[in-house]
Amino acid sequence: MLQNLEDLKNEFSTALNEVKDQSSLVNLKADFLGKKGKLNNILKSLKDATPEVRKTLGMKSNQLKETILADIEKKMTALELFEINERLKKNWQDITYRSSLRDQGLTAAGYHPVTIIQREIEDIFTSMGFEILDGPHIENEYYNFEALNIPDTHPARDMQDTFWFKDMKHLLRTHTSCIQARGMEKRTPPFKFIGPGKVFRCEATDASHEAAFHQLEGMMVGKDISVANLIYFMKTLLSEIFRKEVNVRLRPGFFPFVEPGFELDIECLICGGSGCSVCKQSGWVELLPCGMVHPNVLRHGNVNPDEYNGFAFGLGLDRLVMMRYGIDDIRHLHSGNLSFVSQFKTF
Ligand code: DAH
């Protein structure tokens, strides 16, 4: 009978080696250890044996049972792992950025057109001695409104639909003019800087409006700065950007932080002035609000308005990009569509 147990052990080993999947393993277990299984069959015949034989054989068969159970468990773990790996091999998908680019037929990355324009403008202004400043997207009321001569009660606060945080003290900056307020505090005149960045407005989107877009703020403060200086810098900027003389017009415009304030429009480069969806059929695109810095703004920035003055402007970068590349819907810029972006300058 001992021989029977030994044979059973060998039979099990051979059978276990042949098992290739989990369900066969479950069957094998039932075959050997189940109620009507092979081991029980041997044990049944024990009833006729002497007590000593029964004792040794009982022990031996228990040991065999334990060995079989342990082997089955080991094999089960190995099979699980194997099956997971097989599934992974079959369903393997490269979800990395690089391969998704390749799937879209893109072999080289490119800069976003807003980045291209922003860098060009930065180059133009640094070559004219301007610094480049940055500022936080999450602002407080002071820098977004108060320091810019927009007090609590001022109707101009309605002009900008604001994304407020729950505390009603913090907000997503509605314009890059906050960079003016922060920049002035840390400088003594004369100074000049630009501040590009993302801004946020809680408004419905259409071909020319987005809730998140880009502005580039500019400020120059010194002695005897005039509107003529402002116009000079703006014209230099625009002719460099568009690489040609563009038609501009200046209209009076109201912004609490400048006095006088202007709207500088350029003739629509998409339709050449005949009217399209970008210029809302008017032939002109509002591109550059600007003006002479309001004395209150200078005061908030610790600049004495009796001694110094300056100009400021806030350029809408997305519109500029649209004009430059002939893009007729601002929403393309935020589409995240890689085929769109790859049309521009590659690295
Ligand atoms: N902050 C204004 C806006 O978001 C734009 C602006 C207008 C900026 C006139 C200026 C300025 O610096 O002088 O609409």
Q: Decide: 217 in ligand 1 pocket, CB within 6 A.
A: yes
> CA–CA separation, 296 vs 148, rounded Å?
8
Low-confidence ranges of the chain (pLDDT < 50): none
Quote the radius of gyration of the chain (alpha carbons, Å): 38
> CA–CA separation, 106 vs 346, rounded Å?
11
Instruction: Identify the pLDDT of residue 182.
Output: 97
> CA–CA separation, 212 vs 237, rounded Å?
24
Instruction: Identify the pLDDT of residue 106.
Output: 62
Which of 269, 275, 220 minimizes the C-alpha distance to 248? 269
Instruction: Identify the pLDDT of residue 186.
Output: 93
Residue 259 marked as a ligand binder: yes
Q: Which residues pair with 132 in a beta bridge?
A: 194
Q: Decide: 317 in ligand 1 pocket, CB within 6 A.
A: no
The pTM of this model reads 0.69
Instruction: Identify the pLDDT of residue 93.
Output: 66
Task: Take atom 7 of ligand 1 and give the residue whose Cα is closest.
Answer: 289
Structure tokens at 42: 């041997």
Instruction: Identify the pLDDT of residue 101.
Output: 61
| DSSP E strand stretches across 237-324 | 248-252, 258-267, 284-293, 309-316
Q: Decide: 61 in ligand 1 pocket, CB within 6 A.
A: no
Instruction: Identify the pLDDT of residue 111.
Output: 86
Question: For residues 270 and 279, is the Cβ–Cβ distance under 8 A?
Answer: yes
